[in-house]
């Protein structure tokens, strides 16, 4: 199988490429990545010389490049996206361009070249917030941030191409991922790198917002399952079903790092901050996937990685001015 993976120098999909190359030694992967501020070529250093791997620096909004590249593959997995909610609140333009227009460019290339499968990587945030119960795949989308709106827009476009052109598309929506190589602007890597440097952690509001936390390798295994077993036209929710408040996560990190509660600095809440994300993942379980890494174990492994890889994150936090 020949795969085009977009955004493969980012956090999740550098892990996914590693997963595929190790599990399927006869598969070939092209990684198309623009190398924006959170795309890091160092994330691929352990597999960049693999004979079945090829890196192309480029933008998914570049029609000519995308069409030329798609001619070489059987499957497209679109993991390229602008993803940070806070940045989308400040300036939504790049989110609309990459997440929606970039998806359109990929879908057009998929249509013209008759790819076998197109997998759109989305987010639980597209459903919006829910106080009780869990969203199922057929529930209406109700995004509340410019980021989640751009992802929901892309999902709707994928669905339209499926119905209009017969594009063999599948959508995955995952909960909050965490693990090694995650850019230190997201909660867990930001808090870990702050605490390792003796700095306080900025917790929004009272920390009562609820999230489901999924270890990145579990998400990679889920996308792998959808690649091989997912039914065309379906959407699949991917989550650990282990929900915690942001305050609970913060206190777990403090405990694992031997830091006092006094290291928490409560800051003004994010605009339009969704209270709770929750998804029903029974459809994924029905095709043979389930999460394997427990939250406590995953946090321990993540902390250990950041402790042992300061070379990776210290230049980043310095550039961010944190």
Q: Where are the domains of the chain?
A: 2-177+214-238, 182-211+243-275+294-320
Q: Domain 2-177+214-238 in CATH: superfamily?
A: NAD(P)-binding Rossmann-like Domain (3.40.50.720)
Give the pLDDT band (50/70/90) at residue 307: very high
Residue 21's pLDDT is what? 98
Q: How far apart are the C-alpha atoms of 173 and 138, rounded to whole Å?
A: 12
Tell me the pLDDT tens digit for each residue of 164-195: 999 999 999 999 999 999 999 899 999 999 99
Tell me the pLDDT tens digit for each residue of 43-61: 999 999 999 999 999 999 9
How far, CA to CA in Å, does 295 sit from each of 174, 197, 309?
Answer: 15, 23, 21
Residue 195's pLDDT is what? 98
Q: How far apart are the C-alpha atoms of 9 and 17, rounded to whole Å?
A: 9
Residue 273's pLDDT is what? 83
Residue 272 has pLDDT above 80, yes or no: no
Q: How far apart are the C-alpha atoms of 322 and 319, rounded to whole Å?
A: 8
Equal CATH topology for 2-177+214-238 and 182-211+243-275+294-320: no
Query: Rounded to 10 degrees, what is the CA torsion of 201, 279, 227, 188?
Result: 10
Known catalytic residues?
124-125, 147
Q: Among candidates 242, 229, 206, 222, which has minimal Cα distance to 290? A: 222
182-211+243-275+294-320: what fold?
A: UDP-galactose 4-epimerase; domain 1 (3.90.25)
Show the CA angle centred on residue 99, arms to residues 98 and 102, nearest 5°. 55
Tell me the pLDDT tens digit for each residue of 184-228: 989 999 999 999 999 999 999 999 999 999 999 999 999 999 999
Residue 276's pLDDT is what? 96
Scanning the chain, the segments in alpha helix (DSSP H) are 11-23, 63-70, 85-90, 93-95, 102-113, 146-165, 187-196, 216-229, 246-256, 282-286, 295-308, 310-320
Residue 270's pLDDT is what? 76
Q: Assign residue 76 a region (left: φ > 0; alpha: ψ between -120 and 50; beta: otherwise).
A: beta
Average pLDDT, the chain: 95
Give the pLDDT band (50/70/90) at residue 1: very high
């Amino acid at each position: 199988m020949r795969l085009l993976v977009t955004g493969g120098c980012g956090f999740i999909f550098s892990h996914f490429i590693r997963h595929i190359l190790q599990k399927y030694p006869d598969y070939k992967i092209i990684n198309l990545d623009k190398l924006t501020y959170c795309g890091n070529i160092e994330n691929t250093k352990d597999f960049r010389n693999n004979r079945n791997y090829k890196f192309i620096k480029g933008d998914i909004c570049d029609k000519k490049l995308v069409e030329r590249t798609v001619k070489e593959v059987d499957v497209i997995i679109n993991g390229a996206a602008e993803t940070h909610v806070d940045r989308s609140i400040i300036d939504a333009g790049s989110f609309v361009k990459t997440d929606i227009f970039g998806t359109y460019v990929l879908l057009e290339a998929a249509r013209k070249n008759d790819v076998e499968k197109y997998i759109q990587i989305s987010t639980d945030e597209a459903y919006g917030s829910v106080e009780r119960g869990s969203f199922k795949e057929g529930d209406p989308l109700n995004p509340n941030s410019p980021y989640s709106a751009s992802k929901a827009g892309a999902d709707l476009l994928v669905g339209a191409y499926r119905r209009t052109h017969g594009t063999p598309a599948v959508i995955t929506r995952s909960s909050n991922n965490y693990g090694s190589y995650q850019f230190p602007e997201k909660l867990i890597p930001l808090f870990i790198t702050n605490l390792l440097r003796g700095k306080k952690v900025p917790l929004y509001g009272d920390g009562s917002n609820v999230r489901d936390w999924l270890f990145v390798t579990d998400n990679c295994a889920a996308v792998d399952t959808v690649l091989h077993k997912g039914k065309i036209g379906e959407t699949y929710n991917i989550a650990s079903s282990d929900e915690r408040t942001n305050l609970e996560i913060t206190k777990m990190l403090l405990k694992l790092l031997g830091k006092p509660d006094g290291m928490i600095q409560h800051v003004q809440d994010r605009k339009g901050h969704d209270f709770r994300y929750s998804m029903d993942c029974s459809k994924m379980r029905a095709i043979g996937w389930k999460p394997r890494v427990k939250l406590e174990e995953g946090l321990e492994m993540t902390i250990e990685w950041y402790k042992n890889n300061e070379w990776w994150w210290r230049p980043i936090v310095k550039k961010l001015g944190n």
